Amino acid sequence: MKFIDFICQPDNLKKLDQFHCTCFFSENFPLLAFSLWLKDFENKIKQRVERVDLQYSSLNDLKPSLESTFLGQTKFYWLGNFSTLTAVEKKSWKMYLESYSGPNKLMFFAESKDDFIFKNCLRIEVENGIKQAQYEQLSVLLDPRRPSDLFINKLFLQIDSISLDQAMLFLYYQKLLGNRLDDFFEMIAPKILIAEKSLFKLSQAFFGKEGRIFFDLWQKCKDDYSEMFWVAYWSDQIFRATCYVRLSRKKEMLEAKRIGYKLPFLFLQKDWKEFNSKELTNAHDFLYDLDFGLKNGVSEIGLELFYIKFLTGKFA
């Protein structure tokens, strides 16, 4: 089953009840798309999905929760991206999930189509490139009353396909703008379409701790996205960097290469040697607190403080 078909057809959600595990798989993990989908999924099932950070929780730590319920109510657990695990950790999870029989429902992501193939696991392939027909499906899902043909046609005149994360950003603007499109497609759309290249340069200066270059780039792109996007983006980058450093020091280079595909080349080549897990974990914890503050409207700390602390080595 394909991811877009799965989320666009409400009856497909019932398939989750037929399996104890659900594996979403693709070559790349679309962080933004899954963050948004999980919120939508929670609204549909009227229940909170328990999110688990496998960087801080081992399988043995989680077993008591995964194997029990409160008053018999089944919970959904989101275990995140399994591609960040070491080979040993992944093998342990694979053995556990193969024999898992409830009482809860476990969902996770894998970056290999050959992983986690077993009887009690529903497998859903996440599309890498979103073409116009698939985007139209997502558009109807977002706003069934008023799909904007003008917006969609104008977008796909410029490009043949976009990433799933880019599609989610365009869908947000589509709903917001209505038919006021000229300025958007002249000024904002090109930035989204070339965002990966811009973000790559920004990330390279960030991990290289090149403060002047970083802040020059930051001033040019900081207003292109919300604070929530930037927190999610840097959380993903630092999480991947943490895993890459840990795996590289253990000489598990195949797994390190897989988790590091979104990280800048210079970090993968040499800059990773300048970091330790403590520094990266402290930076990730800071972002977690910032995210909590933003969601609750009480944050007095900002991204600029995070950047200054990271670039000057204050998290070490």
What SS3 string covers 212-253?
HHHHHHHHHHHHHCCHHHHHHHHHHHHHHHHHHHHHHHCCCH
Q: Is residue 294 part of a domain?
A: yes
**Choice between 50 and 260, residue whose per-residue pLDDT is larger:** 50
* Strand ranges inside 111-204, DSSP E: 121-125
Q: Is residue 28 part of a domain?
A: yes
Are residues 282 and 301 located together in one domain of the fold?
yes
Q: Is residue 316 part of a domain?
A: no
What is the structure's pLDDT at 96? Answer: 93
What is the structure's pLDDT at 307? Answer: 93
What is the structure's pLDDT at 208? Answer: 92
Residues 222-240: tens digit of each pLDDT: 877 778 778 888 988 999 8
Are residues 115 and 8 located together in one domain of the fold?
yes
What is the structure's pLDDT at 260? Answer: 81
- Looking at 100, 125, 150, the residue that finishes a domain is 125
Confidence of residue 70 (pLDDT cuts 50, 70, 90): confident
CATH code, 22: 3.40.50.300
Residues 5-20: tens digit of each pLDDT: 888 877 777 888 889 9
Residues 124-133: tens digit of each pLDDT: 999 888 899 8
Are residues 109 and 170 located together in one domain of the fold?
no
Mean pLDDT of 280-284: 92
Q: Which of 204, 196, 142, 195 is nearest to 173 (CA)?
A: 142
Q: How many domains would you assign to the chain?
A: 3
What is the separation of C-alpha 155 from the centre of its chain, rounded to a whole number of angstroms? 24
What is the structure's pLDDT at 300? Answer: 56
Q: Is residue 299 part of a domain?
A: yes
What is the structure's pLDDT at 174? Answer: 82
What is the structure's pLDDT at 311? Answer: 93
What is the structure's pLDDT at 75? Answer: 92
Q: Is 211 helix (H, G, I), strand (E, B) or coil?
A: helix
Q: How far is CA 131 from CA 3, 173, 244, in A?
A: 14, 18, 32
Q: Is residue 52 part of a domain?
A: yes
Mean pLDDT of 142-158: 76
- Cα angle 81, 197, 112 (rounded to 5 degrees) comes to 25
Q: What are phi and psi of 230, to 5 degrees?
A: -65, -40
Are residues 13 and 121 located together in one domain of the fold?
yes
What is the structure's pLDDT at 184? Answer: 81
The angle that helices 303-311 and 195-207 make with each other, rounded to 10 degrees, is 50
What is the structure's pLDDT at 147? Answer: 57
Task: Say how far apart CA 161 and CA 132 lie, in whole Å.
Answer: 7
**Choice between 112 and 78, residue whose per-residue pLDDT is larger:** 78
- Looking at 70, 105, 125, the residue that finishes a domain is 125
Are residues 186 and 209 located together in one domain of the fold?
no
Decide if pLDDT at 144 tops 70: no
Q: What percent of the chain has pLDDT over 70?
A: 94
Are residues 305 and 203 located together in one domain of the fold?
yes
What is the structure's pLDDT at 284? Answer: 92
Mean pLDDT of 195-212: 85
Q: Please give the structure tokens belonging to residue 58.
A: 């081992």
CATH code, 276: 1.20.272
Lowest-confidence pick of 47-56, 78-87, 169-178, 284-293: 169-178
| Residue span of the structural domain in which 34 resides | 3-125
Are residues 83 and 107 located together in one domain of the fold?
yes
What is the structure's pLDDT at 146? Answer: 58
246 CB-side CA count, 13 A: 17
| Cβ neighbour number for residue 174 with a 10 Å cutoff | 24
**Choice between 144 and 81, residue whose per-residue pLDDT is larger:** 81
Residues 245-266: tens digit of each pLDDT: 988 888 887 778 778 877 888 8
Residue 75 is classified by DSSP as -
What is the structure's pLDDT at 194? Answer: 62
Mean pLDDT over all residues of the chain?
Answer: 84
Are residues 167 and 240 located together in one domain of the fold?
no
76-81 sheet: strands from edge to edge: 50-51, 76-81, 105-110, 21-25, 121-125
Decide if pLDDT at 281 tops 60: yes
- Looking at 81, 103, 125, the residue that finishes a domain is 125
What is the structure's pLDDT at 179? Answer: 64
Are residues 228 and 301 located together in one domain of the fold?
yes
Are residues 109 and 139 located together in one domain of the fold?
no
Are residues 154 and 243 located together in one domain of the fold?
no
